[in-house]
């Protein structure tokens, strides 16, 4: 079922072209009640706002197959950005989805500290308060690094991780974000009263209409005022930008998350280049990478391909119900046959050329296909099944190549 074509909730359904499509989930909005003065170690946590998207009916009585999913948004985002995809996943998987507002975003409180350790502690405190056990954590961009931080910091709390277009490495944040902050301040200083005025100012630094709409979704008109203001604390986030490209763990292999991890990359994005995959494998030895057609905002750009990415025909599928970690993809390309189980380690990978045909059970979403991995930047749908050299015994490593 295609999601993302209907984006506006109407009477329990989703509107598309003026019609209603029934949605097999119920949605409840809550606010965490934990005190902002509570601490975990030396880090003060804040209560997190969230929406709960519950399935109409669980698909199984097995707790491992019905454990909740926590969905963490990116910088300048909020839980509402993930509303449609959360409802679809709740319906498809029969699992409850908690779409969370991270600190300094959405309806969650503002706090001067904004870094990945603090965000991870907030999510851990949220799980404890709501008695959430063994969840899958999906995070996009900033949310991906927060999810990875929590998984490495408290691996016993997390079942598995889906990191969308970010990697556990220090990186230079795009200069676009600093431009956004400057023009967000400019919008507030101009005391605009309409979205049209605000959009004209943001268009000075961002030509993409969807991205401008995403950023301006943070605007609201406070009670008793005429001028629009941003819900996010611009000054706090502006100061935090210098560290948003960082990752708190600096020594790959010293800490590990020994459970499954799926990394989803946008084919037009540069956030997760092939060069960082060996580092990913040191932190997350049982990781996979799937490329989906789109840019950094891959969830909103290509939601159907994103939804199917965790359901590709691999036994190590994360979100689809549990299966062993050994995975295999077999494809043919003319005279070249590759039986792929382990394609990339911290050592030299075995080269395989792209397959000419998809397995019959492969996803058919736009831009999604199954290809054997290469060292070069992959085409949409490429699946990397990897482990660090320390853990190669955990996966079958047979790679066969027949060359005429």
Tens-place pLDDT, residues 22-48? 333 344 445 444 444 333 458 899 999
pLDDT at 91 over 50: yes
Separation of alpha carbons 150 and 156, rounded Å: 10
Write the DSSP assignment of 88-121 as a string of letters: HHHHHH---EEEEPPTTSTTSPP-S--SHHHHHH
C-alpha–C-alpha distance, residues 294 and 268, integer Å = 6
Asked if residue 123 lies in contact with residue 150, where contact means CB atoms within 8 angstroms, the answer is: yes
User: What residue has token string 């919008």?
Assistant: 187
Predicted confidence (pLDDT) at residue 239 exceeds the cutoff of 50? yes
Return the higher-pLDDT residue of 207 and 387: 207
Q: Mind listing the pLDDT tens digit for each residue in 185-220? A: 999 999 999 999 999 999 999 998 988 999 999 999
Q: What is the reported pLDDT for 310?
A: 55
Q: Which of 114, 296, 300, 331 is catalytic?
A: 296
Write out the two tokens for 90: 């709740």
For 112-166, the pLDDT digits (tens) are 999 999 999 999 999 999 999 999 999 999 999 999 999 999 999 999 999 999 9
> Of 44, 96, 141, 317, which is the active-site residue?
141
| Confidence (pTM) | 0.72
Average pLDDT in the chain: 73
Measured from the Cβ of residue 42, the count of other Cβ atoms closer than 10 Å reads: 7
365 — pLDDT class (breaks 50, 70, 90): very low
Residue 29 Cα to chain centre, angstroms? 21
pLDDT at 180: 97
Q: Report the SS3 class of residue 42.
A: coil
* Active-site residue, 37 included: no
7-23 residues labelled b (16+ CB within 10 A) or e (exposed): eeeeeeebeeeeeeeeb
Is residue 141 among the annotated active site residues?
A: yes
Distance CA 135, CA 153 (A): 15
């Amino acid at each position: 079922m295609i999601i993302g074509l209907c984006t506006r909730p109407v009477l329990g359904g989703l509107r598309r072209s003026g019609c209603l499509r029934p949605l097999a989930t119920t949605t409840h909005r809550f606010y965490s009640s934990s005190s902002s003065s509570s601490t975990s170690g030396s880090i003060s946590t804040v209560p997190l706002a969230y929406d709960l998207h519950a399935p109409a009916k669980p698909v199984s009585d097995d707790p491992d197959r019905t454990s909740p999913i926590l969905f963490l948004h990116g910088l300048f985002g909020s839980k509402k950005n993930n509303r449609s995809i959360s409802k679809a996943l709740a319906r498809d998987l029969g699992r409850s989805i908690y779409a969370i507002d991270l600190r300094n975003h959405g309806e969650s409180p503002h706090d001067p500290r904004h870094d990945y350790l603090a965000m991870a502690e907030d999510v851990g405190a949220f799980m404890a308060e709501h008695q959430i056990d063994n969840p899958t954590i999906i995070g996009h961009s900033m949310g991906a690094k927060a999810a990875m931080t929590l998984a490495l910091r408290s691996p016993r709390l997390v079942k598995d991780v889906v990191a969308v277009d970010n990697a556990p490495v220090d990186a230079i944040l795009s200069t676009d974000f600093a431009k956004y902050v400057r023009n967000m301040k400019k919008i507030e200083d101009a005391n605009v009263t309409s979205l049209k005025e605000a959009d004209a100012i943001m268009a000075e630094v961002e030509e993409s209409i969807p991205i401008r709409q995403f950023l301006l979704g943070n605007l609201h008109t406070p009670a008793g005022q005429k001028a629009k203001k941003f819900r996010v604390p611009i000054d706090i986030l502006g100061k935090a930008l210098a560290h948003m490209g960082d990752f708190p763990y600096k020594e790959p292999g010293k800490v590990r998350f020994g459970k499954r991890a799926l990394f989803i990359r946008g084919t037009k994005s540069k956030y997760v280049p092939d060069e960082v995959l060996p580092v990913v494998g040191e932190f997350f030895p049982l990781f996979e990478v799937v490329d989906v057609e789109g840019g950094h905002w891959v969830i909103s750009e290509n939601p159907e391909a994103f939804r199917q990415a965790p359901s590709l025909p691999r036994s190590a599928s994360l979100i689809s119900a549990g299966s062993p970690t050994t995975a295999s993809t077999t494809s043919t390309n003319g005279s070249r046959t590759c039986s792929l189980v382990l394609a990339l380690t911290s050592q030299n990978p075995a080269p395989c050329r792209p397959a000419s045909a998809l397995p019959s059970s492969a996803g058919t979403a736009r831009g999604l296909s199954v290809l054997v991995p290469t060292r070069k930047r992959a085409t949409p749908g490429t699946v990397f099944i990897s482990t660090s050299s320390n853990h190669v015994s955990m996966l079958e490593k047979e790679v066969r190549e027949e060359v005429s």
